[in-house]
Amino acid sequence: MTHSLDNNIIPFLAVIITYFGLLTYIGYYATKQTRTLRDYFTMSGKAGALLSGLAYFSTQYSMSTFMGVPGTIYKVGYAGMSVSVPGIAFSMVIPALLVGRRLIRLGHRYRMLTMADYISDRYESTLMRALLAIIMILFLVPMMGAQTIGAGIIFKTYTGAPEWVGIVVMGITVILYCMAGGIRSIMITDVIQGILMVATAVVTFFVSLQLGGGLEVINQHLADTDMSLLSHPGQNNSMPWQNYVSMIIMWSFFTIGQPHLFTKFFTMKNYNVMFKAVLLGTLGMWFSATLIEWCGVTGRMSFPNLTGTDTDFIVPLQAFIL
């Protein structure tokens, strides 16, 4: 199913061109600020709490936050919103408590640049470095590819153009600013994207309430449709307690092992910065995730007949109204 609105093409293109132009400038600016290899990979361990916190939470987010998860919640109901609890608490707090402080100390002491540095030093083996590289290619490349494909889908949704156009433009832009400015350009971009994520979540949530006639009307519609949409474990028993236990385990260990998050600890000045960054990032994730997930529930009123993969478009469809 193709979703596009012709009268949204010009505003969308204006926004996307401005956005890509800003990313290009950030890459140029970061290049000028980078003096050494340690600058390039870790900002020489000088990142503050605001930069670290916003960068960490926006890195933890992915395309699924705006297209996958709300679509699932659309089908499940309010019970699906509970995914943010294990996701947020255990993707930021647990990694910080278990490994964050140690990584900051070791990173500063031994001037580590990447996860590969830590692993090879820890096990005194260059073979571990090669093994990590292979694992990253096998798992991270598909994951990052999914984000780029998501950008292509969004581009097609708003313009009707082929997906590959958005995929190519996004892919080239990301590669260029990452290569040019290193971690500094990545973290500055993360901050901007984090702010945009929060703004998008807030605006889309209130638009969805307006479309549905208010929260009371929406909840009454859900009750008339299926009372299980208002309670746990959700429609068709989709969110039993076992799901939350598995997510807690997954988020606790999965997040710690992601190189693009792991390396963020090497950029932080000290443990106090890390503590403030985790608090800021956790609050940012909780606030924006709750609102954008809620749009999956409220969207059932204004777009009641979505099925299959079309439910993934519930947030873009509501954003069309803007």
- Is residue 48 in some structural domain? yes
pLDDT given at position 85? 66
Residue 18 belongs to some domain of the structure: yes
Quote the domain boundaries for residue 16: 6-319
pLDDT tens-digit map of 9-50: 777 778 788 888 888 888 888 888 888 989 999 999 999 988
pLDDT in tens, 205-246: 999 999 888 999 999 989 998 898 898 888 888 888 888 777
Give how many domains the chain has, as a whole number.
1
Tell whether 118 is covered by a domain: yes
pTM of the model: 0.81
d(CA 218, CA 297): 9
Asked if residue 155 belongs to a domain, the reply is yes
Judge whether 247 lies within some domain. Answer: yes
Indicate whether 1 belongs to any domain: no
Q: How many residues does the chain have?
A: 322
Whichever domain contains 38, its CATH number is 1.20.1730.10
Give yes or no for a contact between 185 and 26, defined as CB atoms under 8 angstroms apart. yes
